[in-house]
Structure 1
Amino acid sequence: MKSLKLNTLIALLALLLVGQANAQTPYEKGMKAALEQLFSADGGKENWQNAANKFERIANVEKDKWQPHYYAALAYAWMATKEETLSLQDEKMNRARKLVETGLEASPDNVELITMQGYADMLSIAFDPGTRGQTLSTRVFQTFGKAIQMDPTNPRARLFMAQMQDGTESFFGQGHEGSCQTLTKAVENYALQKDNGDFSPTWGQGAAEQMLKNCQKPAEGEGN
């Protein structure tokens, strides 16, 4: 009987310890829920707006955290890609930029936020390339270059740099050796990337790998 009671007590203590280990703070619960919505397979403006709202609520409470601002900015950037007019696209991108700026106040010289600044400008070029390509492209290259210099292992900075290089190469009718070389390094960086548990970004690997596959395809007409 004593042995049975002792075993029961041990089991209860074990369950208690597991429960404590799995306990999450309100910040962790909120971030996980918002991230699940942001990266949901369903996607779409409504999901992204709901996710952005959650991140902004978290940011208003956790003022020392940069991650909620980053993901809210990402959500608005993605929403902009679904808008049909330039004014609505710019409205979303301006919101994204303000969120990045606020995030930089909490975490100055943060490479992910600086990369997001370049990403926002890159999308703005895509929305109106004829008007903005000449004025913004240099700034975007400089921003991604700065991010890479700050952290050569950051895969997103290299992925977006490769996208800019690819667009420039296509515009001038050049080969894609430069962008493909950058992509190769981006994919290598993604392979080494670790989730450190603080909700820092890890996204973009699938896009980098798909772009690299295009690099590995034979050029049009080759082999005929």
Structure 2
Amino acid sequence: MKKYLLSFALAFMSLTAFAQSDYEKVMKEKISKLEACKSVDEFQTLANDFDRIGKKETKQWLPSYYAAFAYIQKGRVQMREGKMDELSVQANAAEKYLDQAESVAGKDNAEIHLLKKMASSLKMMENPAERYMTDGMKAMEELKKAESLDPGNPRVALIKAEDTYFTPEQYGGSKTKGMEQFQDALTKFKTYAPKSAIDPNWGKAEAEYFISGAAK
């Protein structure tokens, strides 16, 4: 009987390990496509993929996190295309997934708070004059939370650099200071190690893009 129970336990452990490795393999494949995406349709496809993974892996927060990230990136593409009236749609979808991620990971997750900041910023950009005191302030609060939880996080530094670089000087922005902050973000990327092969590790390419002067 003991031998049978031991065999069962070992078999269960093997199946669990296989399932975990299979989950990580699929996640790595999808995550690798995120930085290569360029179009609204590509980001939507990935958001749907992460949604399906999340429905199977209900105890994991990363599928919902990456689904939210895909919706935010989709919104950013639309912003560059001048489709400002669609930004809240993507931000709301992102926030739904971030709530799901937070229900698993807890409220003290800097990466989730950073995406909440980005989602709120998207909403604000739909109508900055009307939404600065609501969505704009919420974005600032979420960024402060992310930084307090993980001050060495390069993605926090990256988003701060974006804000400084793209904000007009009369409202406190500065392209010169923004470039300094992009350099700070890049420095942090060189030493910051993600917790696992599938934990958030995006943003370095963007910092390098600005430092290279390609954004001018």
TM-score, normalization by structure 1: 0.74
Preserved contact between residue 85 and residue 126 of structure 2 (Cα < 8 Å): no
Gaps of 5+ in 2: 1-17
RMSD, aligned CA? 2.8
2:89 corresponds, among 85, 88, 91, to: 91
Residue 201 of structure 1 is matched in structure 2 by 200
1:56-75 map, 5 Å: 56-75=51-70
Find the aligned partners of 1:45 and 1:194 in 2 and give their Cα distance: 30
Q: Any stretches of 5+ residues in structure 1 without a counterpart? A: 1-21, 218-224
Task: Tell me the amino acid that sits aligned with residue 36 of structure 1.
Answer: S
| CA positional deviation for 1:196 | 3.9
The offset of 1:87, in angstroms, is 4.5
Question: Does 2:101 correspond to 1:106?
Answer: no
Alpha-carbon spacing, 1:47–1:122, altered in 2? closer, same or farther (3 Å) = same
**For each residue in 1:132-182, what CA deviation from the matched residue of structure 2 results, as whole angstroms up to 9, or x when unmatched?**
234333322222122111111101111112222334453437645654443
Q: Which residue of 1 aligns with 2:120?
A: 121
Task: Point out the more displaced range, 173-182 or 85-94.
Answer: 173-182
Instruction: Please give the alpha-carbon distance, in whole angstroms, between the structure 2 residues aligned to 1:24 and 1:152.
Output: 30
Separation (CA, whole Å) in 1 of partners of 2:206 and 2:126:
20
Note the alpha carbon deviations across 1:117-138, whole angstroms, 9 max, x for none: 0011122223322322343333
The structure that has the greater radius of gyration is 1
Summarize the Cα distance change of 1:128–1:148 in structure 2 as closer, same or farther, 3 Å threshold: same
Identity, % of aligned pairs?
Answer: 27
* Deviation sequence 1:91-123 (CA, Å, 0-9, x none): 121000110111001001111011110011122
**Contact 2:61–2:102 at 8 Å: present in 1 too?**
yes
- Amino acid corresponding to residue 46 of structure 2 in structure 1: A
Contact kept in structure 1, 2:164 and 2:174, CA below 8 Å: no
Task: Please give the TM-score of this superposition, normalised by the length of structure 2.
Answer: 0.77
Which residue is 1:150 aligned to? 149
- Relative contact order, higher structure (CA 8 A, sep 6+): 2
1:79 aligns with 2:74: yes
Q: Kindly indicate whether the alpha-carbon contact (under 8 Å) linking 1:30 and 1:54 is maintained by their aligned counterparts in 2.
A: no
Contact kept, 8 Å, 1:144 with 1:157, in 2: the verdict is yes
- Alignment partner, residue 220 of structure 1: none
Q: Residue 86 of structure 1: CA displacement?
A: 4.2
Q: Is the 8 A contact 1:111 1:147 kept in 2?
A: yes
| Mapped contact 1:80–1:89 kept (Cα < 8 A) | yes
Segments ≥4 residues shifted beyond 4 Å: 84-87, 173-178
Aligned residues: 194
CA contact (8 A) 1:69 1:99 kept: yes
